[in-house]
Amino acid sequence: MSKIIYLVPLFPLIGFLINGLGRKFLSKPLISIIASGAILASFIVSVLLFINVKNTGSISAAYFDFINFANVVIPFAFQIDQLSSLFLLIITGIGFLIHLYSSAYMHEETSHHYARYFAYLNLFVFSMLLLVMGANYVIMFIGWEGVGLCSYLLIGYWFKNINYTYAAKKAFVMNRIGDLGFLLAVFWLINKLGTVAYVDVFANVSKLSQADITIITTLLFIGAMGKSAQIPLYTWLPDAMAGPTPVSALIHAATMVTAGIYMIARSNILYTMAPQTQAFIAVIGLATALFAASIALKQDDIKKVLAYSTVSQLGYMFLGLGVGAYTGAVFHVMTHAFFKALLFLGAGSVIHAMHHEQDIRKMGGLKKYLPITHITFLLGCLAIAGVPPFSGFFSKDEILTAAYAKNPLLYYFGMAGALMTSFYMFRLYALTFLGKFRGTHEQEHHLHESPLAMTIPLLVLAALSVVGGFIGVPEVFKADSHWLEHFLSPIFAQSAALTESHHLSHSTEYTMIGTSTALILVTIIFAWKKFSNYVPNEGENEGFNKLLANKWYVDELYNSIIVKPIELFSGLLKNVIEKNVIDGAVNGVGKLVVASSRQLRLIQNGQVGSYILIMVVFIIVFLFAWINDLTIVRFFNKLF
Amino acid sequence: MGITQSLFWFLSVLALVAALMVLLSKNPVHSVLWLIVVFFAISGHYILLNAQFLAIVNLIVYAGAIMVLFLFVIMLMNPNTETEPRKNFLVQIAGIVAGGCLLTVFISLVKQASEMNNKTALLKTGNIGLIGNLGKALFSDFVVPFEISSVLFLSAMVGAVVIGKKN
Amino acid sequence: MPIQYYIYLALTLFTIGIIGVLTRRNAIIIFMCIELMLNAVNLLLVAFSKMHNGIALVTNKDSMVGIDAQLFVFFIMVVAAAEVSVGLAIIVMMYRNTHSIDVNFLNRLKN
């Protein structure tokens, strides 16, 4: 079985090459078939691998030495275990659905750009697969950088719009800040252990001092902050909505942004041994969850709401990692991938129908025009809000329960965030689908349900969002029903051995589930009532609302404390140092040469007498030097 | 001081004075004549060194052929002394100073050369300068360069005719 | 006669030739100074030839050491004669074209 591992990333790579190189020749249907087919093939192999892993345990394959010098050998190797096979399924499965969806969503593009889009998308899937399949941190880093690159390319896909290119640049730079942390962690590992392979690192983790572990885990978490959009490096993700909507669904909701969670779940033993870092992660995760949720309350762009919701949900995942609920975090990654991809694709369907109008204040009443989108979107909202028995309920509940076990305070704040989530999601839902249509007449005339290629992925994802949670039913309902925990237990076994599990009493859990469900339902009804007959009125944003609508002015804050000083400094360098010092030196050399040549040229005056005179003078000089045995003569004697 | 030494000093002084006069005389014809005197003095030195063949050749080729050629050319052009170009004073001073420095450096070089101490040039005796010995060497060991020099002469002749021809 | 005397004599003649080249502008005079320098070298060659011959004669009465130097002088004279014929032809042509024998007129060659 390990012989077919390489096929998983190979198919997307081939798809990328064909579409990328043949973008001038291929027709649109062919492009979408190649791209989607590549991912489908990958998905099939992934399923085979998953079944194999489930039955016989993890498999690995090494291909060649990627780096081999001194005592460090870093092989180019893949490792398929429970965790990565799960991620493989998510990536290739959702990836395929989104490719399918894109083939219809992007049909307005010219075939050249269409091919470019699918080439990027395939390259992204390839990189993401490398990221999760790598058997060591370096291979993971290759994928890590690859997905960052693809994210940049796809955010700036419509590169003729300058704001989109700025958004792409912002995403890239923010990611780079995090990547530096990741890279430093890898270097630290090589320095301390001489290896970066997961197996070796986790086996030798006891050789590391407490301080080393804390540093490595913190640096890795900084990498995760950038990639998974946590405070303070989250501002790129809302801006990344500049990319096409399917891209937002795939990269900025379902897969790439969960790379940080994957990486920490992968390194769980390190984090379990670094409680300070864990506490740090929990705090950052929770803060991000609340912060992003509060911003999402007042956003009017359909994709921005979903983007902040994504940041917020990623915060929950990090909260889960921080409190040691690794399974819960991975579980939430999975369910989140389902419902957030669904929501984004639904939003894409709405945007498609509205002819690229994204302001929810100008929508409303889309229920009757877009029935399939409406139903699936509603299911997605219920799932993300955490209404039982939808998938989001189970995963979020698992994280929050673990948080309660760690510290009830974390739970209360997490609960507040969950309530905000349900509020803004249903605000979004109500504004979009309920009430009266508030757009222009022409838009209303053109409203139509999306084609089959777009609705099929919606239906599949809706189904997954509804039932996806049942692979992780908590113990409290039925013993040994948490299939996922059982499946992933080999990955987290080392960590589990180090932590004593404190189970909450069943009655506490029931109370918690009951209260949270009741509160969420109340919030949903409140939001539904408040916004279903929404009438836009100008100037409603004042005071605190204004603060939220402007995203807490974080972008402005970063601008003034980081960007402006750097710009000022660069301006100084450009206008003063560059102009006077560097240019002065460079031009000075040139001027000196020109001036001295102008003088030297006078020697070449064509007067035979002066040539002879110069010749005689230098004969005298050389003879004089020779007689007195000057250094230069000795130098030339040695030379010849 | 024997007669040989006397002759040596006489010829040396004559050569130097005549050489200076080559430089100092304003009229080119006088320069040519003084140069002939230098050549005669040098030929005298050759005879002192018992290099009779070279002495004769020197007289015939230099003092005879070459200097007559010079005279012909000067007379052909007939430049008047007034219009004869002179370098400006500064350049002349520079030339003289440079020459003086060169001479000083040369002399100090010779003084440093210890292998020259107690070496003498053989006067009046020795037979390597005789025509018979030189002829034997010329037509045995040096026959190839000798033949090549005849080609050189031919080409010089052709060159002179081509250059001097009116176009 | 000590060899140094000949060397000094030859060097002095040579230097006079150089000074002539440096200070005069008349092409014919410069040419004559070059001949003077050649002759100074010839004289030195013959003097050295006799010096080596004298050293060799002490051990071998019929030694021909130094004869090549005299032949070298002979060849120098040959080359000098050829050189003079070509050089004077050039000067004649130059005079014909410029009505001057000032070497500084030759700086037109630089263009």
Q: CA dist A519 to A382, A413, C107, Å?
A: 14, 14, 105
| Partner-chain contact C110 A612, CB within 8 Å | no
Side chain identity at residue A495, one-letter code: S
Residues of A in contact with B102 (CB under 8 A): 616, 619-620, 623
Instruction: Measure the CA–CA gap between A281 and A639, rounded to whole angstroms.
Output: 68
- Read off the pLDDT of each residue in A167-178 and give the average, rounded to a whole number: 89
Residues near A618 by beta carbon (within 8 Å), at least 6 away in sequence: none
Residue C11 is predicted with a pLDDT of 94
What is the DSSP track for A503-514?
A: PPPHHHHHHHHH
Mutate to test the interface with C, among B32, B42, B152, B162 (most CBs of C within 10 A): B42
Domains and CATH numbers, chain C: 3-110 (1.10.287.3510)
- Structural tokens at position A182: 């990741």
How big is chain B, counted in residues?
A: 167
What ipTM was estimated for this complex?
0.90
Place of tokens 């002939």: B36
Of the ranges A280-284, A480-484, B25-29, B113-117, the best mean pLDDT one: A280-284
| Partner-chain contact B109 A627, CB within 8 Å | yes
Portion 592-611 of A in contact with B at CB < 8 A: 609
Query: Taking Cα atoms as reference points, which of A56, A67, A114, A59 lies closest to residue A88?
Result: A59
Side chain identity at residue A254, one-letter code: A
What is the residue-averaged pLDDT of chain B?
A: 86
Shortest Cα–Cα distance, C107 to chain A (Å): 4
Side chain identity at residue A25, one-letter code: F
Mutate to test the interface with B, among C5, C6, C24 (most CBs of B within 10 A): C24
Side chain identity at residue A618, one-letter code: F
Helix (H, G, I), strand (E, B) or coil at A638: helix
Residue A563 is predicted with a pLDDT of 82
Instruction: Measure the CA–CA gap between A503 and A506, rounded to whole angstroms.
Output: 9
Q: Which chains touch B (3 or more CB pairs under 8 A)?
A: A, C
The helix-helix angle for A452-467 and A326-353 (nearest 10°) equals: 150
pLDDT digits (tens, 9 = 90+) for A120-129: 999 999 999 9
Residues near A507 by beta carbon (within 8 Å), at least 6 away in sequence: none
Q: Are both B146 and B88 inside the same structural domain?
A: no
| Partner-chain contact B122 C7, CB within 8 Å | no
Portion 293-322 of A in contact with C at CB < 8 A: none
Residues near B114 by beta carbon (within 8 Å), at least 6 away in sequence: none
Q: Are both B37 and B70 inside the same structural domain?
A: yes
Q: Are both B103 and B141 inside the same structural domain?
A: no
Of A26-30, A444-448, A502-506, which range is least confident? A502-506
Question: What confidence category does residue B37 fall into, taking pLDDT thresholds of 50, 70 and 90?
Answer: very high
Q: Are both B41 and B102 inside the same structural domain?
A: yes
On whether the CB atoms of residues A477 and A394 are closer than 8 A, the answer is no
- Read off the pLDDT of each residue in C4-27 and give the average, rounded to a whole number: 91
pLDDT for A367 beyond 60: yes
Q: Are both B117 and B140 inside the same structural domain?
A: no
pLDDT digits (tens, 9 = 90+) for A32-65: 899 999 999 999 999 999 998 888 888 888 888 8
Of the ranges A423-427, A501-505, C24-28, the best mean pLDDT one: A423-427
Phi-psi label, residue A480: left if phi above 0, alpha if psi -120 to 50, beta otherwise = left
| Partner-chain contact C107 A606, CB within 8 Å | yes
Residues of B in contact with C93 (CB under 8 A): 163-164
Residues of B in contact with A624 (CB under 8 A): 105
Q: Is the dihedral of CA A266, A268, A274, A277 positive or negative?
A: positive
| Partner-chain contact C11 B86, CB within 8 Å | no
pLDDT for A356 beyond 90: no
Helix (H, G, I), strand (E, B) or coil at A299: coil
**Nearest by CB: B112 against A609, A624, A627:** A627
Establish if A498 touches chain B: CB-CB under 8 angstroms.
no
- Structural tokens at position A515: 């209260």
Query: Taking Cα atoms as reference points, which of C81, A557, C44 lies closest to residue B42?
Result: C44
Residue B46 is predicted with a pLDDT of 92
A450-475: burial string, b at 16+ Cβ within 10 Å, e else: beebbbebbbbbbebbbebbebbbbe
Question: What confidence category does residue A516 fall into, taking pLDDT thresholds of 50, 70 and 90?
Answer: confident
Residues of B in contact with C94 (CB under 8 A): none
Q: Are both B28 and B99 inside the same structural domain?
A: yes
Q: Are both B104 and B144 inside the same structural domain?
A: no
On whether the CB atoms of residues A237 and A311 are closer than 8 A, the answer is yes
What percent of chain A lies above the pLDDT cut of 90?
A: 18
HEC assignment per residue over A207-233 = HCCHHHHHHHHHHHHHHHHHHCCCCCC
Question: What confidence category does residue C15 fall into, taking pLDDT thresholds of 50, 70 and 90?
Answer: very high
Q: Are both B125 and B136 inside the same structural domain?
A: no
- Name the residue in chain B with its Cα closest to that of C98: B77
- Structural tokens at position C96: 């014909």
Q: What's the angle, vertex CA A346, arms to CA A342 and CA A349, rounded to 5?
A: 145
- Read off the pLDDT of each residue in A170-186 and give the average, rounded to a whole number: 90
- Name the residue in chain A with its Cα closest to that of C30: A609
Domain that holds residue B47: 3-129
Q: Is the dihedral of CA C42, C48, C51, C55 positive or negative?
A: negative
pLDDT for B81 beyond 60: no
Residues near A382 by beta carbon (within 8 Å), at least 6 away in sequence: A390, A392
Question: What confidence category does residue B80 fall into, taking pLDDT thresholds of 50, 70 and 90?
Answer: low
pLDDT digits (tens, 9 = 90+) for A203-262: 888 888 888 889 989 999 999 988 888 888 888 888 888 888 888 888 888 888 888 899
* Cβ-based neighbour number of residue A223 at 10 Å: 28
DSSP summary character for residue A66: E
On whether the CB atoms of residues B121 and C1 are closer than 8 A, the answer is yes
| Partner-chain contact B105 A627, CB within 8 Å | yes
Shortest Cα–Cα distance, C111 to chain B (Å): 21
Residue A540 is predicted with a pLDDT of 60
Query: What are the residues facing A67 on neighbouring strands?
Result: A74
pLDDT for B64 beyond 90: no
Residues of C in contact with A608 (CB under 8 A): 103-104, 106-107
Residue C94 is predicted with a pLDDT of 83
Helix (H, G, I), strand (E, B) or coil at A74: strand
Q: Are both B135 and B158 inside the same structural domain?
A: yes
Q: How far is CA A263 from the centre of its chain?
A: 12
- Read off the pLDDT of each residue in A603-618 and give the average, rounded to a whole number: 81
- Structural tokens at position B93: 């001073």
Total of domains in chain B: 2
- Read off the pLDDT of each residue in C78-107 and give the average, rounded to a whole number: 83
Element (H, E) at A75: strand A72-80
The helix-helix angle for A608-627 and A631-639 (nearest 10°) equals: 90
| Partner-chain contact B54 C29, CB within 8 Å | no
| Partner-chain contact B98 A624, CB within 8 Å | no
Q: Are both B147 and B106 inside the same structural domain?
A: no
Q: How many CA atoms lie within 13 A of A170 on its CB side?
A: 23
Question: What confidence category does residue B87 fall into, taking pLDDT thresholds of 50, 70 and 90?
Answer: low
Side chain identity at residue B118, one-letter code: N
Asked, as a colleague might, if the bond just before A565 is cis with ω within 30 of 0, I would say: no
Q: Are both B75 and B139 inside the same structural domain?
A: no
Residues of A in contact with C106 (CB under 8 A): 606, 608
Question: What confidence category does residue C75 fall into, taking pLDDT thresholds of 50, 70 and 90?
Answer: very high
What is the residue-averaged pLDDT of chain A?
A: 86
pTM, 2 dp: 0.66
Question: What confidence category does residue C109 fall into, taking pLDDT thresholds of 50, 70 and 90?
Answer: low
pLDDT for C111 beyond 60: no
Question: What confidence category does residue B108 fall into, taking pLDDT thresholds of 50, 70 and 90?
Answer: confident
Tell me the helices (H) and strands (E) count for chain C, helix number first.
Answer: 3, 0
Torsion angle of the four alpha carbons B91, B95, B96, B98, in this order, in degrees rounded to the nearest 10: 130
- Read off the pLDDT of each residue in A414-440 and give the average, rounded to a whole number: 86
Portion 601-640 of A in contact with C at CB < 8 A: 604-609, 612-613, 616
Place of tokens 């209260």: A515
Of A96-110, A530-544, B106-120, which range is least confident? A530-544
Residue A467 is predicted with a pLDDT of 86
Residue C33 is predicted with a pLDDT of 92
Residue B82 is predicted with a pLDDT of 55
**Nearest by CB: C47 against B39, B49, B58:** B49
A519-558: burial string, b at 16+ Cβ within 10 Å, e else: ebeebbeebeeebbebeeeeeeeeeeeeebbebeebeeeb
Query: What are the residues facing A204 on neighbouring strands?
Result: none
HEC assignment per residue over A348-389 = HHHHHHCCCCCEHHHCCCCCCCCHHHHHHHHHHHHHHHCCCC
Portion 57-116 of B in contact with C at CB < 8 A: 57-58, 61-62, 65-66, 69-70, 73-74, 76-77, 79, 84-87, 91-92, 94-96, 98-100, 102-103, 106-107, 110, 116
Decide: residue A334, CB within 10 A, 0-12 exposed, 13-18 middle, 19+ buried.
buried
Residues of A in contact with C29 (CB under 8 A): none
Query: Taking Cα atoms as reference points, which of B49, B94, B107, B23 lies closest to residue C36?
Result: B23
Shortest Cα–Cα distance, B140 to chain C (Å): 12
On whether the CB atoms of residues A12 and A126 are closer than 8 A, the answer is yes
HEC assignment per residue over A315-330 = HHHHHHHHCCCHHHHH
Helix (H, G, I), strand (E, B) or coil at A106: coil
pLDDT for A434 beyond 80: yes
Q: Which chains touch C (3 or more CB pairs under 8 A)?
A: A, B
